Chains A and B, each alone.
Chain A
């Protein structure tokens, strides 16, 4: 019995001095291993007097349990002690990360399209290579008419042309769908313009139109004013100035109060206090007829706007060429 007590004391003493896993393992094997000291004592049971065997066995079991617990605790202590957590200086650079950017024009597109989608407009994209009917004739642009002057087109060798506006989508939908419907159509357009600060041979437009019974100029104003307030701020004033487009009658251009001078007059608004941002009007009955929609039953409004212009106004960009040069110093500003 003294042996048990002695082994217990010695082991606990030794164990307390150990602080690494290797020494721990050695000691564990020496004490608790298959040929360890505890096992040795167990093998001595047979030589203990019969009447003391029960007591001895119980003491041994207790020893084994106690030491096992102690060893386990020690093992955990050593483990804990050995794990070191590094400290980090967060003012240092992390791994270099790279992030691109969405093109500012695409960002404007998404914003505008979503405004109209929220009202219930459907997005439809049309082809950039169009035929004369969809781009001109269907929209009431007669051949050889000065109304085409502003839309000098690139003609293709196959007789088609590059659309000069996104309005041809209107003809496609009027021919295909049955009213009522409301459509918003974003996309690239092309005109034979020399590239400068405010012109480009390729540019981006959004066209929209709504056809139903009893649609009026009042609806047009409500829809577009909603758009203007969303895009330029809820206090933005607008005015609907009569104009001419072959495919709408009546036609109007929409101006907003100059956002740079609040209408007082500056260089941007040419001292008028107003900036033109889009063209609109009621779809001409002639256009309906060409698409086999009854103009007596249905009316509709249509509008179109330049994405570059709106982006330039909103984000103070003074030269259209930036959009197509794609300098990364430009692109990363508009994330």
Chain B
């Protein structure tokens, strides 16, 4: 909320400079977010007096005046008609600055030199009045800088939702009083609501849940005067333009006491006031001249014919107070904050009233506010009389009483605050205190804090924030309890380190993204959709990651990378929320230079498989299988699934090029995406003895019909070899004809018991060849 410092000063003397004050406010939890000097644009304006007025010799409508600032006489040409001899006025001297950088220079007007300019409120950037020169009264000393009287500082505080009592100038003055250990002056109010007659308008509340308090006051034959500067100036300082006295008083009261009231033109009300829910589709035009369509849960104030206000949010055009208003009805109520909030959000009306009602109104407010309005009406205008208030109210609860123990203050704050310090803080905060035994008190909460101070802990916070947390000495806690290591968290960092060292960039992309991105690559599963997306680019919680890696790749193609590998660990929604690792490999993985003679430059899905095998080796996963399998995202015959212990944990493949929305792509894009959980095995491996005997190597070339999976061949070799066959490695593939190819395998044999001789190994190899022949029709080349 924005505050005027001058307004605040009406209730409390502030004897420190404003930056110190703002700092102190911030350190009490009322963070000052910024401030500005209202009249920063003007300078060299002085309070002066008109000594003599003559007619301009050559222009009927102009005056030629003698003006004094107490020392020097100035000859001024002036066109305004509201000036008289003896008026105290603001004078812009030669060299003065007015808003928008206007400089006052010596100039001739119709042949006569003017030594400055007399100013209107508007010309000073001070108010909106431009009807004539700004006439002041005798209180303003001539010769004084205009700013000394009229400058103001507008500052903004981020009022937290628990402090609705601060949403007013008087409320903030009370808070400043605590900081300065001074009491704010009491608000001047009418002592009694002295009703003289029965109100012709009665009130009916249709449902108790919607309004806990409603009071209506009929004011008869009221005169809607011109608004005095006392009311108008602070409003204008805060950017509210003056309308008419009644509307201005309503606004003034809102910003002063924090309680929104509503003024109806009573003659525009037909019958009684009814507080009720709107009917579906019911319409009204609010005072901002917009038509609003309502639904059944919206709370309205209606008369017997029409809606006259959207309760607590905004009044309607049809019952607005204006210059012609004779009789007025003042509403001072407390509405259900939840209902106000729902309607306000649905209709997107951010009125001052709604802002306060949704935060809550204390039960003391409606009456104080009414009495203050009556005081202001009495002072600034006249009326024939007021009715007895028509009040419909639930029983108002007694004031909150809380027992506060000093030991609990010390326990929570971790310090030792003296008793009298605690009581002093609470007293200045407006709490009434009764001493009980054993360093404890009964604390009675004032009405204006009843919404947020309900428990002992709330009082402890009040003491703490005024005492200042900075005065509490820090202590390092000893941490008790079981130490639970989260090895899975460490495992994920291990994965990141592996891939980063293995040349991939760790990226982070937005999980909330657009459905279309995933559909584009062929995802046809379920989506976890967002019910209230901010825009169409963020309408799902992603089911997979890699399409976003492709997007990152495309973004970086402008650098023409020879190669770019990316990875991300993130959550996806794929049947359930789970964590996945996604990898993207792009470009020439073996870039040639002067050292590399043999530039083996084939980029295909085998490259990525190799990286994955290295990864599984690194993290100690042994039982990995790659299974050929066509998947919708990938080129046919260029993809597969990854199995661990025969359970599918992910896939890899080469992306279908046409689906990539960029024409800068020069190399195949290889993708893998896998679940992380199954990769993590919280086990400590035990030592397995290994053979000390030498390895014997053999190469065998076998001719097969094409189309037999090499995995199957290797499996057969392994099964038919003995436990002494330690390793099978595909060395070479030779194309024999359209039907046949020859595969050369490199075999390694090693025994646990002895050094194998040629005869032993020949025996094993024969066995392998025999099995391959029988099962897969392979023959020795």
Chain A residues packing against B (C-beta within 8 Å): 92-96, 98-103, 105-106, 110, 113, 119-125, 127-129, 143-147, 149, 154-158, 162, 179-182, 188, 190, 192-194, 200-202, 210, 212, 214-219, 221-223, 225-226, 239-244, 249-252, 270, 272, 282, 284-285, 299, 323-329, 331-332
Contact = CB atoms under 8 A, between A and B. Distances in A.
B29 A122 contact: no
Contacts of B457: 249-250, 282, 284-285
A326 B557 CA distance: 12
A289 B759 CA distance: 79
A95 B472 contact: no
7 contacts: A98-B563, A156-B528, A188-B571, A216-B411, A217-B415, A270-B34, A323-B508
Contact of B533 (A102, A146, A154, A299): A154
Nearest to B534: A192
Contact of A214 (B163, B411, B512, B529): B411
Given A223-B477, A270-B34, A327-B556, A156 B541 contact: yes
A188 to B, nearest CB: 7
A212 B480 contact: yes
Contacts of A120: 479, 483
B465 interface: yes
Interface stretch (B186-194, B274-282, B496-504): B496-504
B757 interface: no
A103 B534 contact: no
Given A101-B506, A201-B512, A225-B474, A180 B564 contact: no
A146 B161 contact: yes
Contact of B415 (A154, A188, A218): A218
Contacts of B534: 154, 192-194, 201
A116 to B, nearest CB: 10
B437 to A, nearest CB: 20
B474 A218 contact: yes
A224 B564 CA distance: 40
A145 B162 CA distance: 10
A239 to B, nearest CB: 6
Q: Among B160, B469, B530, B534, which residue has the most Cβ atoms of chain A within 10 A?
A: B469
Given A156-B529, A328-B561, A106 B506 contact: yes
Contacts, number: 252
B411 A299 contact: yes
Interface in B529-565: 529-534, 538, 541, 552, 555-556, 559, 561, 563-565
Contact of B506 (A95, A299, A331): A331
Contacts of B29: 241-244
B483 A217 contact: no
B155 to A, nearest CB: 13
Contact of B26 (A100, A210, A241, A299): A241
B506 A222 contact: no
A331 B505 contact: yes
B414 interface: yes
Given A155-B530, A217-B464, A119 B479 contact: yes
A98 B589 CA distance: 9
A242 B465 contact: yes
Interface in B684-711: none
A226 B500 CA distance: 31
A33 to B, nearest CB: 28
B485 A122 contact: yes
B152 interface: no
Interface residues of B, number: 91
B484 interface: yes
Contacts of A128: 511, 541, 571, 577
Given A217-B464, A285-B457, A100 B501 contact: yes
B486 interface: yes
B511 A202 contact: yes
A171 B763 CA distance: 67
B475 A241 contact: no
B336 to A, nearest CB: 10
Nearest to A158: B528
B593 A326 contact: no
A202 to B, nearest CB: 5
B573 A129 contact: yes
**3 closest Cβ pairs, A-B complex:** A216-B414, A218-B414, A242-B29
Contacts of A179: 481
A74 B540 CA distance: 80
Contact of A192 (B461, B496, B500, B532): B532
Contacts of A156: 528-531, 541
B482 interface: yes
Given A121-B479, A188-B571, A244-B162, A100 B555 contact: no
B473 interface: yes
Contacts of A299: 411-412
Interface in B562-615: 563-567, 570-571, 573, 577, 591, 593-596
Interface in B609-663: none
A181 B482 contact: yes
Given A119-B479, A218-B474, A249-B458, A103 B506 contact: yes
B156 to A, nearest CB: 12
B511 A188 contact: yes
B342 interface: yes
B28 interface: yes
A251 B458 CA distance: 10
B465 A250 contact: yes
B503 A217 contact: no
B510 A202 contact: yes
B236 to A, nearest CB: 27
Given A128-B571, A201-B512, A285 B507 contact: no
Given A182-B481, A239-B470, A244 B476 contact: no
A253 to B, nearest CB: 8
A296 to B, nearest CB: 10
Nearest to A202: B510
Given A154-B533, A328-B559, A331-B507, A244 B27 contact: no
Contacts of A201: 510, 512, 534, 538
A35 B609 CA distance: 59
A272 B27 CA distance: 12
Contacts of A119: 476, 479
B508 A157 contact: no
A219 B484 contact: no
B509 interface: yes
B510 A146 contact: no
